[in-house]
Amino acid sequence: MTTDTPLKKARDLSKAQSRARLIDAAATSIHRHGLRGATIGEIQAISNLSRGMINLHFKSKENLLLAVAEHLANAYDAHMEQAINAAGSDPKAQLLALFRADLDPNILNSRDVSIWFSFRAEGHTNPQFQTCIGTRSGHFARLLKGICKALTPIPHHPVNAPALAASALVSLLEGIWTDFHLNPDNFNREEALQTCLYVADRLFADQLQGQ
């Protein structure tokens, strides 16, 4: 969706469409039955495409799974980048935007989150999965640390207060994803946002009382 290669012939379009359909079917299969149950037969049945298609488009089933992981990670990155860019330069607004984006139903939904967790479970087994699903700890963490620095008054107490706050917020969001994944029915999106805001509020209140 982000890159529109022009002048596509009908055949190329249908090829890309089949590819996308396979990725989507594989994702659905992972969601329904886990990585263990995401078999060629399942994916074929969901996609209504022929059995040979997977190996034709992706050489192997494992490559298709990898493509699902990449697709998911790219969608997450794009979503977050867009949200941050739209937030302007005020760190408080950026933080709110980051919370909202991370809790957005387009990202935090039971289908996608369950797929995230499936890949994460095998991350240390498969290095290729690892690089895909590690997107959270890179750009995201750095950005959040910058925001925390801007929001923490100086002098800090303790001296590494911004770093502590940043890693706390990363973990908080990560944990909220886990709560959602383990119990999507009892999950309240608005409540989760309030929890984030409450923690942020407490973290970035005036810190000079102790010193």
Partner DNA sequence: TCACAAAATGAACAAACGTTCAGTCAAAGT
Partner DNA sequence: ACTTTGACTGAACGTTTGTTCATTTTGTGA
The yes or no reply on residue 126 touching DNA (CB under 7 A) is: no
The correct pick among 54, 98, 107, 161 for binding DNA (CB under 7 A) is: 54
The yes or no reply on residue 14 touching DNA (CB under 7 A) is: yes
Which residue lies nearer to DNA by CB, 60 or 106? 60
The yes or no reply on residue 124 touching its own copies (CB under 8 A) is: yes
The yes or no reply on residue 11 touching DNA (CB under 7 A) is: yes
CB of residue 77 to its own copies, shortest distance in Å: 16
The yes or no reply on residue 198 touching its own copies (CB under 8 A) is: yes
The correct pick among 20, 32, 45, 55 for binding DNA (CB under 7 A) is: 55
The correct pick among 52, 134, 138, 155 for binding DNA (CB under 7 A) is: 52
The yes or no reply on residue 60 touching its own copies (CB under 8 A) is: no
State the residue for tokens 């890179």.
Answer: 138
The yes or no reply on residue 135 touching DNA (CB under 7 A) is: no
**What are 164-169's contacts with CB under 8 Å, separation 24+?**
165/203, 165/204, 166/141, 167/141, 168/199, 168/203, 169/144, 169/196, 169/199, 169/200, 169/203
The correct pick among 1, 2, 3, 10 for binding DNA (CB under 7 A) is: 10
The yes or no reply on residue 61 touching DNA (CB under 7 A) is: yes
**H, E, C per residue of the chain:** CCCCCCCCCHHHHHHHHHHHHHHHHHHHHHHHHHHHHCCHHHHHHHHCCCCCHHHHHHCCHHHHHHHHHHHHHHHHHHHHHHHHHCCCCCHHHHHHHHHHHHCCCCCCCHHHHHHHHHHHHCCCCCHHHHHHHHHHHCHHHHHHHHHHHHHCCCCCCCCCHHHHHHHHHHHHHHHHHHHHHHCHHHCCHHHHHHHHHHHHHHHCCCCHHHC
The correct pick among 45, 88, 142, 174 for binding its own copies (CB under 8 A) is: 174
Residues that bind DNA (CB under 7 A): 9-12, 14-15, 17-18, 38-41, 49-57, 59-62
Contact set with its own copies (CB under 8 A)? 32-37, 110, 114, 117-118, 120-126, 133-134, 136-137, 158, 161, 164-165, 167-168, 170-179, 181-184, 191, 194-195, 198-199, 202-203, 205, 209
